[in-house]
Amino acid sequence: MKKLLLILTCYSCLFTTVAAEIKYYKLERNLPYPYVAHILEVNPKENPIHLETATEFTQGRKPASEFDKGYSAVINGSFWLPEENGAPEFMLKKDNKWMSMPRTALLGTLGWSNKGQDAEIDIVGIKYGVKIDDEIIPVANLNGKIKDNNIVVFTPTFGTTTKSSENRTEISVSNKQIKSIKTTSNTNIPKNGFVISIGPDAEIDLNKFKENSSAEFIYQFEFTEEATNKKELNNKWNNFENIVDANPILINNGQINTNINKNNSRYFAQLPHPRTAVGLKPDGTWVFVALDGRQLLYSLGASLNTLAYLMLELGCDRALNLDGGGSTTMILNGEIINNPSGERKLSIRKIKEKQERPIGHAICIE
């Protein structure tokens, strides 16, 4: 394993070849404040890229180091919900199976298939519902949080049952046909279907649902007003095997996102924090950054604007901010290569004992 130390203006880089087409380098800077960034460049033709979840279901968390199944590298993924035991906060699709579809605005989104050789980062949204015979009924989310006034669809990726409380109307669908309609709780989810769970205060006529009626979960991607060829874009995104929603997009079509500060809170966007990002170069190379933070004399972190300019400097024409803070973790050859802050708010010096925060999913590289 060869190492080369270069001293350059404002920063130093330590280059290491990790695997056939994986390059790792460590970048240290002092302006606008001290930060240390760990960078991976990956050729997916040589090192396929996968999405892994902590469990086979939507909920569950574990440290990034425990995702290591012989992978060359592991990087933490997007945001997750602590109150939902690690369930994804945004859209998540793994190996052609939808794990989560919350109803959100247009967000930065990473999609890929063919083990990373076909990949895209863009601003994407989604709308969805349940088609009962010829009528489409909107739902609040897929495999998400239930409320007394909402309608939620649960698929087998959520678990074996809906985990719902009493007094919900739960409609079991198998092979695109309604099999049962009951006021119950914790309904079994058919392996070849889904359950429509309706809260007691939901504004819906339950007479719309009848046994033996046809039922299908349908969805369509949405794009910005400026996007062209939306039908082709919808087909493209529908064909991606893996999709990770995050926030915000840092670079789009080679341009820095100028609305980063406008569309996010000052605390989240402008203050330095540990950060994780993924980017794509024009030649198809993937770039991952795990930027340490909350360690005052070692690495304070970065703002989202600083992160965006770093991704541009690294040659990315598309880039996306992933979950950061205590979640920021990069694993190389089974070892934690960065210095995660875990649940610490701030440390004066570099943390000697690396503290991993359990996460819901991770991006893994062979």
Question: Which domain, by its residues, includes 302?
Answer: 18-120+228-365
Tell me whether residue 171 is in a domain.
Answer: yes
pLDDT digits (tens, 9 = 90+) for 52-82: 999 999 999 999 999 977 899 999 999 999 9
**Is the pLDDT assigned to residue 9 strictly greater than 50?**
no
Query: Per mean pLDDT, which range of 8-17, 83-92, 160-169 is the poorest?
Result: 8-17
Same domain, 317 and 233: yes
**Do residues 98 and 182 both lie within one domain?**
no
Residue 134's contacts (CB-CB under 8 Å, 6 or more residues apart) are none
Q: What are the tokens at 52? A: 């892994």
Can you read off the two tokens belonging to residue 283?
A: 């030649």
Give the residue from 213, 243, 262 where a domain finishes: 213
Confidence class for position 20, pLDDT limits 50, 70, 90: low
Task: Compute the average pLDDT of residues 134-138.
Answer: 95
Same domain, 34 and 96: yes
The three-state secondary structure class of 18 is strand
pLDDT on residue 13: 58
Q: Are residues 101 and 32 in the same domain?
A: yes
**Count of the separate structural domains present in the chain:** 2
Say which residues have a Cβ less than 8 Å from residue 82's Cβ, sequence separation at least 6.
none
Shared domain check, 94 and 51:
yes
Please identify which residue in the block is written with the tokens 């929603």.
245
* The residue to which tokens 């979950």 are assigned: 323
Least confidently predicted of 19-28, 255-264, 289-298 = 19-28
Mean per-residue pLDDT of the chain: 92
| pLDDT confidence of residue 114 | 97
Mean pLDDT of 84-95: 95
Q: How confident is the model at residue 230 (pLDDT cuts 50, 70, 90)?
A: very high
Token output for 22:
């994986």
270 torsion bin: left (phi>0), alpha (psi -120 to 50), beta (else): alpha
Residue 50, domain member (yes or no): yes
pLDDT for 68 equals 75
Asked whether the beta carbons of 181 and 211 are under 8 A apart, the reply is yes
The whole-number average pLDDT for the span 137-165 is: 95
What pLDDT is recorded for position 262? Answer: 87
221: in domain:
no
Cα–Cα distance, 194 to 308 (Å, whole number): 40
Shared-domain flag, residues 25 and 97: yes
Residue 271 lies in a domain: yes
Q: Are residues 197 and 346 in the same domain?
A: no
